[in-house]
A and B are shown apart, each in its own frame.
Chain A
Amino acid sequence: MATAVVDEADKRQSPLSDAVVVRFAGDSGDGMQLTGGQFTLSSALAGNDFATFPDFPAEIRAPQGTLFGVSAFQINFGSSAIDTAGDAPDVLVAMNPAALKTNVPSLKQGGLIIADEGEFNDRNLAKAKYDANPLEDGSLAKWQLLKLNISQLTMDAVKPFGLGNKEALRCKNMWTLGLALWMFDRDRAPLIDWLNAKFAKAPDLAAANVAALNAGHAYGETAELAGPLKQHHVDPAPAAPGLYRTLTGAEGVALGLVAGAQLAKLPMFFGGYPITPASAILHHLSRLKEYDVTTFQAEDEIAAICSAIGASYGGSLGVTSSSGPGIALKGEAMGLAIMTELPLVIVNSQRGGPSTGLPTKTEQSDLYQAVYGRNGDAPMPVIAARSPGDAFECAIEAVRIAVQYMTPVMLLTDGYIANAAEPWKVPDLTAYEAFPVEFLTEVPEGGFKPYGRDEKLARPWVKPGTPGLLHRIGGIEKEVDTGHINYAPANHQAMTDIRKDKIDGIKVPDQVVELGAEGGKLAVVGWGSTFGPIHQAVRRKRAEGADVSHVHIRHIWPMPANLGELLKSYDKVIVPEMNTGQLKTVLRDQYLVDARPVNKVSGQPFTIAEIEAAIEEALK
């Protein structure tokens, strides 16, 4: 289990036992994300551990049948710990020629292709730039091929319901799901319940989809004797006892922010502007009014953060969220929050950049932007989540630091974490220590100083509306203590030092070693969503006897106090990142360690094999 039982996972004998990778690929209108999502749910209910990777185009409805319109959903599930969505699929479901062409190269040798031959007509073959039909010309010989006319089989199955051609074909994905459920010995009942609930207002559609699902399942049963199709049961994965659900990163962030606000005893104000892949956080929070959450879809990214700062000024927990390009627009306002020392949480769901870049693909290339990307000496804490479940914890941590230190905090996730789902052990909220905010409500002994400091160097938080504590704040340099405008050289030096000391002094937990030992030949240091592939790769290499450890940094700024010493205790340090070496540079700068980069900037997550290769290279 990617986060919940990381400790358990290491104890297991064979990390590879009985894990299967399935990729559903089709046209972006074929409903592959829905199919994948429901198959994920069925994996969860079967007790498997899993990780998923939705991979879809930026266009909502890309032209049908084209190579760039292919939408895919990969799931890795198994009876042991699963940390990644899997390197290469064992099974590829290809709903058209374009889906086959773009996805088959990554299929494992000997893997199974299930193709809808009904879609392999001349027109679609031409769109996918196939000269000949790959289902017929022997070019797929190194894989097992099962060609079915899924389109026709679906049409036959839903015939009794009198749907039009187009609507009938829309049930193809449920037929495919039915077949997949049979292949992995899954219970159909929860899916049938889900379909009935989803189409409650259109009973015909519900019945047709259920019929398609059942037909796909029945096909598996009857076809088993002949072709390459075999039923395969994957046992439940051992997991810590408790109640589980599936969680995406966007849900993790949203729920964590609500939990953080509750622990701080504050109402939450969320100012957002639609942007991929961050919008899901706004969507989740906008339904949670009863949790004292106000959401505001602003006119632009700048207004989104400024409204959040305005709300923080008014005594709410201000939160804003975006992805790289939007974060760039928010930079000036972050500086104001630093200058006026108001709490704020900024969530950055990173995507491929620069500029518009790759909106639906994942990357970790905003680390410099998070740590350094503002004018002036503008220090700001940065936290990075490693998984959907960890996003929940990190969001709470971000809120805690923001309100206790009166500072904006950036929480980094990425497109992969935001969209991917994992099983999540529902935490017991009573186990979290509350950190209720105390507003200043009357003149303290010694007089009121708007820029006076507590032992953490935090200034008091005063809500407008409070009698006796009237004051003015703004972005012009503040005078020490009084907060009046002051341009004096010594004062600017003093205030710059205070702002830096405050952030440097934030108490963050000591860095732990995720896997392996303190000290040794090699540390693989990661951050964010590379946790999965690094963890699996280090585990495999250690099983082979290699002296390698995994260190995963959550607190990007300020860094844990022991991190420098820890890194220096290894002969070598490599830093795999989905960028050109940003954490590597920060580590070198902070600790003068010879951190070596391992980079991948393709919009796709690392595979385990890639990290293993990097470890082998480093240990040569």
Chain B
Amino acid sequence: MNQVTPITRATTLKDWETDQEVRWCPGCGDYAILKAVQRTMPEIGTAPENTVFISGIGCSSRFPYYMETYGFHTIHGRAPAFATGLKLANPNLDVWIVTGDGDGLSIGGNHTMHLIRRNLDCQIMLFNNEIYGLTKGQYSPTSRVGTTSPSTPYGSVDRPAQPAAFALGAGSRFVARGFDVSKKLPEVLKAAHSHKGAAFIEIFQNCIVYNKDVFVDFAAPKGAEDRQLWLENGEPMLYAKGTKGIALDAEALHLKTVDVVDGDWQAAGVIVHDVTNRGVAHMLVEMRFGEFPMALGVLYDDPRPTFEADVWRQNAAAAEGKTADLQSLLKKGQTWTVAEGGPDL
């Protein structure tokens, strides 16, 4: 199976829905993400039978039960490891990992890092709600300092992980961001799918019960244009209806926001987004919301050879010209024969 042949087929949204009752809390952001994925799949054009959703444990990880594809709801934090074995066994499969901030960055942070480092061809959707939902509301590794929760009644004191920065630091060749109810989420998903390699997507997701509206500062429709920077490859980094942009402070070597007068973004020094610029990507994932708008869309996309393809290539090269004759393998090395009636030396 050296040649990976994409299996494509015309489908509709309905083809991707299961008959299972969806069991997330009413109003949960997961519903919107599920719909966005189900809506995106026909546009991607892949076949349900060739698609596998693999998840760990947590609210987000129930996702596979609701997708009419192959699905594997595994154990806490380990979805990347199952995905790695599956993809090595069959590189033809289209593998999607569904994880959360606790599953993917706390108990499973190690596996997330190594999957990204190896660059296994798959999509990783990390639903970040900054809380443990399924265990009833404890703070998570992405919770902001001071988050009060059943396990931190006086507020959390540890500093949060930044998923996109973590992914890029682990060597990711594709980093994107979106949020649950965003109309642009399908575009982000499509870009992730078209990237060959580990595509990391941080999806901000509203936990209506335990961390309601934690992203409302930038996700609320009202004033969104002032708070969201949607990145487009080859386009200037503009927001606030083109009145503001992101520029490089070349002296201090960091990003800054600039005012754009009369649409002359060039004069303001606004950067044109190049998805292959790793240096700028490092700055984008570190850009603090508040001082800056929230960077969304495809932050970085620069493919490299993928792990499973390299493994298959090496296996094939090592096997080339050799026959799988186990009987002769058993006889390999120094042997001796014992004849009837005694040793024959």
* Interface residue ranges, A against B (CB under 8 Å): 41, 44-47, 190, 236-246, 255, 258-259, 262, 267, 269, 271, 288-292, 294, 296, 298-300, 302-304, 306-316, 318, 332-333, 335-336, 340, 426-429, 463-476, 484-485
Contacts and interface: CB of A to CB of B under 8 A. Distances in A.
Contact of A308 (B70, B85, B331, B345): B85
A473 to B, nearest CB: 6
B159 to A, nearest CB: 24
Interface in B304-345: 311, 314-316, 318-319, 322-324, 326-327, 329-343, 345
Given A426-B330, A473-B71, 9 more contacts: A243-B337, A255-B326, A290-B318, A306-B111, A310-B54, A311-B88, A314-B89, A315-B89, A473-B72
B50 A238 contact: no
Given A259-B326, A336-B74, A303 B93 contact: no
Contacts of A240: 338
**Looking at chain B, what size class is its interface with the partner chain?**
35 or more
A255 B325 CA distance: 12
A319 B330 CA distance: 20
15 contacts: A47-B343, A294-B89, A296-B85, A299-B110, A303-B110, A307-B85, A310-B81, A313-B85, A313-B89, A464-B70, A464-B86, A474-B73, A475-B74, A475-B75, A476-B73
B12 interface: no
A267 B91 CA distance: 14
Report whether over half of chain B's contact residues are helix, strand or loop; otherwise say mixed. Answer: mixed
B92 interface: yes
A307 B120 CA distance: 12
A115 to B, nearest CB: 31
B345 A46 contact: yes
- The 5 A-B pairs at the shortest CB distance, nearest first, are namely A474-B73, A310-B85, A307-B85, A314-B89, A306-B81
Nearest to A258: B326
Given A258-B326, A309-B82, A315 B90 contact: yes
| Chief secondary structure at chain A's binding surface | mixed
Given A306-B74, A333-B75, A314 B85 contact: yes
B85 A245 contact: no
Given A303-B78, A306-B75, A310-B81, A470 B48 contact: yes
A290 B73 contact: no
A463 B338 contact: no
B274 interface: no
B338 A242 contact: yes
Contacts of B314: 289
A301 B119 CA distance: 20
Interface stretch (B35-43, B61-69, B188-196, B235-243): B61-69
B146 to A, nearest CB: 32
Interface string B116-149: 0000000000000000000000000000000000
Given A289-B319, A303-B78, A471-B70, A45 B336 contact: yes
A11 to B, nearest CB: 15
Given A47-B345, A473-B73, A466 B49 contact: yes
B278 interface: no
B81 A241 contact: no
A44 B334 contact: yes
Interface string B89-119: 1101100000000000000001101100000
A294 B314 CA distance: 10
B315 to A, nearest CB: 5
Contacts of B85: 269, 271, 296, 306-314, 318
A267 B85 CA distance: 13
B82 A310 contact: yes
B338 A244 contact: yes
Contacts of B345: 45-47, 236
A332 B75 contact: yes
B299 interface: no
A340 to B, nearest CB: 8
Given A236-B342, A242-B337, A333-B75, A310 B322 contact: no
Contacts of B67: 472
